[in-house]
Chain A
Amino acid sequence: GNSVTQMEGPVTLSEEAFLTINCTYTATGYPSLFWYVQYPGEGLQLLLKATKADDKGSNKGFEATYRKETTSFHLEKGSVQVSDSAVYFCALGLNAGGTSYGKLTFGQGTILTVHP
């Protein structure tokens, strides 16, 4: 079956530190990969995505590259801010018959706390 594994949290960093949150996946076929972010008290929102191997998704200073050879989609940011404190979810979705729906498989989430 399909699965997503994220690095264990919580992750605590000082402002301006470099962030990496590891994500690896197992899937049949050719998935699209996503990072979602959940700020305190809110629902999830899409942070970035990549739909094929070697694609790089980026948004708000965050980046992740779809690595088929290592089945990974690690999230990185060069300099985190206090406002980046949130829960980050890696997810995969599979196309079916040329169309796809939001039947995503999520990782367990990684809590990030950034201190001033």
Chain B
Amino acid sequence: DGGITQSPKYLFRKEGQNVTLSCEQNLNHDAMYWYRQDPGQGLRLIYYSQIVNDFQKGDIAEGYSVSREKKESFPLTVTSAQKNPTAFYLCASSMGRDTGELFFGEGSRLTVL
């Protein structure tokens, strides 16, 4: 089945540690996105990538980094510079020219201890 796979589903980390969240898609979509979801705040865009080897900052990019070396993969690193990293992270993809139909993964819940 085509879709988006995020891993791990749950992750715990200590303060000061970097952690990388995986996102893989087999939908042949050009564009990929990372959103952060916090209770009562909806989703906020962290980074997005329209094509391989290119990505752009979203609204809350500080403390995060990404790479897009392959069309299928868009990993997100939460660095120690992110002051409040505990959240639910959602990866999504789209055809690129579509008017906003995003396909989401099931999310990764990060908890900083």
Contacts and interface: CB of A to CB of B under 8 A. Distances in A.
Interface in B4-42: 4, 6, 31, 33, 35, 40-42
Interface stretch (B62-70, B71-79, B96-104): B96-104
B100 A108 contact: no
A89 B104 CA distance: 13
Contacts of A36: 102
| Interface core residue of A51, A91, A103 (most chain B CB under 10 Å) | A103
A89 B42 contact: yes
A102 B31 contact: yes
B105 to A, nearest CB: 5
B106 A41 contact: yes
B102 A32 contact: no
A73 interface: no
A32 B100 contact: yes
B42 A106 contact: yes
Q: Looking at chain B's contact residues, is the secondary structure mostly helix, strand, loop, or mixed?
A: strand
Range of interface residues on chain A? 20 to 34
A43 B31 contact: no
A28 interface: no
16 contacts: A32-B100, A34-B101, A43-B107, A44-B92, A45-B104, A46-B102, A89-B43, A100-B98, A100-B99, A100-B100, A101-B96, A102-B31, A102-B92, A102-B101, A103-B48, A109-B40
Interface of B: 4, 6, 31, 33, 35, 40-45, 48, 50, 58, 90, 92-94, 96-107
Interface of A: 4, 32, 34, 36, 41-46, 49, 51, 89, 91, 93, 95, 99-104, 106-109
